[in-house]
Amino acid sequence: MNPRQVFVASLRREEVPYTPIWLMRQAGRYLPEYRAVREKHSFLEMCRTPELAVEVTLQPLRRFELDAAILFSDILIPLPPMGLKLEFFESKGPQIENPVSSMKDVENLRVANARQDTGFVGEAVRMLRKELGDEKALIGFAGAPFTLASYAVEGGHSKDYAKVKKMMWNQPEAFRLLLEKITDTVIDYLKMQLEEGADAVQVFDSWIGALTPMDFKEFAFPYLKRIFEELKQYNKPTIYFGTMTSGFFNYIKELGSNAVGVDWRINIDDAWKIIGDEKAIQGNLDPMVLYADREVIRKHAKDVLDRASSFSGHVFNLGHGLTPQTPIDSVAFLVDFVHEESEKIRNSR
């Protein structure tokens, strides 16, 4: 089996010779070649120019024996076509100039058409499929409705999520309409990526941990479930990933995704016992472990592999993304160790 086949088979919980690995933010600022591109182009320009997106997507695969590439883009890319003015700043990160705060604001937003409004993403996926051939898998992605709605309301990063929670609780009809429009946009956006050649898609829910289980059930679950139900027609694996979600696992296991990504705040075998062995699990090394020496990396990575070894369908990943100062040698060591150790574990059964 080649890496593409191993990755897809793992997400389908089929027997594979080793545990596949890819890393969130594997194309990023820790790589000097990424920084070289970034010095010449703005972040949004990189996301919106297929040739640049392809180049950055492929950079980590030239260095490491990763089993999958993930499209270089950003979860907020579908928001501007909806009517939200987005800019990225080095100091503040993403900023939306016209955040929504009322039903009228939400009514003025439109549901984006993926091919008309974000066709550059489809073109990048198509180009990557050609570049990767049959050897490596390609992952597409989108932001989850609650996380995107949070950005739309907060206007950028938030420490307390006060604005979005105020709207969610005090204007539930407006907030639900916002979620509906974003959900429709995300579905079309992910369908385009699957149609252009992505082997799997991941839905990122970066801010979902701000919710209570009750609010997750009301303001996240129905919209996520609809996304995964709509994508089943493509018969390609789907992954749901959110941070600080262990309190929601009883709901998440009903979402309809093939796999669930979990962060490092719970042992992977404990997560699997709650989510159920009918789903693949992705994760879940603490990204900060890569700052430690190799013995520590080996210890923690082996613990993840050992805990996952009695289940079918493990895709090794971090519990969140690589950070800008991550040592490159540590990434190379981790990738090779996961492949070698997981093969040993299988051979010893």
Tens digits of residue pLDDT in 61-110: 999 999 999 999 999 999 999 999 999 987 788 999 999 999 999 999 99
Question: Which residues form the domain of 271?
Answer: 3-347
Measuring CA to CA, how many Å separate 39 from each of 16, 29, 297?
Answer: 41, 11, 31
Q: Which of 4, 13, 18, 25 is catalytic?
A: 25
226 has catalytic annotation: no
Nearest partner of 163 among 153, 173, 151, judged by Cα: 153
Q: Which of 12, 29, 63, 298 is catalytic?
A: 29
Q: Which of 74, 105, 199, 263 is catalytic?
A: 74
As to burial, measured by CB atoms within 10 angstroms (0-12 exposed, 13-18 middle, 19+ buried), residue 176 is: middle
Tell me: pLDDT of 223 over 80: yes
* Band of residue 162 on the pLDDT scale cut at 50, 70, 90: very high
Please, what sign has the CA dihedral across residues 48, 239, 200, 309?
positive
- Residues 263, 271: Cα–Cα separation, whole Å: 10
- Residues 181, 184: Cα–Cα separation, whole Å: 5
We report the CATH number of the domain holding residue 261 as 3.20.20.210
Other beta carbons less than 10 A from residue 1's beta carbon: 14
Q: Which two tokens stand for residue 259?
A: 């796999």
Q: Which two tokens stand for residue 243?
A: 């941070």
74 has catalytic annotation: yes
Measuring CA to CA, how many Å separate 253 from each of 68, 95, 107?
Answer: 24, 33, 32
Q: What is the pLDDT of residue 89?
A: 86
- Asked if residue 200 lies in contact with residue 236, where contact means CB atoms within 8 angstroms, the answer is yes
Q: Which two tokens stand for residue 187?
A: 């579905």
Measuring CA to CA, how many Å separate 285 from each of 215, 294, 306, 334?
Answer: 28, 14, 12, 10
Q: What is the rounded (10 degree) CA torsion for 12, 60, 58, 345?
A: -20
Q: What is the pLDDT of residue 348?
A: 87
Query: How is 249-296 classified by DSSP, letter by letter?
Result: HHHHTTS--SEEE--TTS-HHHHHHHH-TTSEEEEEE-GGGGGS-HHH
Q: What is the pTM of this model?
A: 0.97
299: which residues sit within 8 A by CB, 6+ positions away? none
How many Å is the Cα radius of gyration of the chain? 19
106: which residues sit within 8 A by CB, 6+ positions away? 100, 174, 175, 177, 178, 181
Tell me: pLDDT of 43 over 90: yes
29 has catalytic annotation: yes
Angle at 339 between CA 337 and CA 340, to 5 degrees: 65
Q: What is the pLDDT of residue 349?
A: 74
Q: How many distinct structural domains can be found in the chain?
A: 1
151 has catalytic annotation: yes
Q: Among residues of the chain, what percentage have pLDDT more than 90?
A: 97
Mean of all residue pLDDT scores within the chain: 97
Mean pLDDT of the 137-162 span: 96
- Residues 308, 305: Cα–Cα separation, whole Å: 5
298 has catalytic annotation: no
- Residues 65, 337: Cα–Cα separation, whole Å: 11
Tell me: pLDDT of 296 over 90: yes
Q: Which of 18, 30, 34, 151 is catalytic?
A: 151
91: which residues sit within 8 A by CB, 6+ positions away? none
Q: What is the pLDDT of residue 168?
A: 98
Q: Which of 38, 115, 129, 176 is catalytic?
A: 38
Tell me: pLDDT of 236 over 80: yes
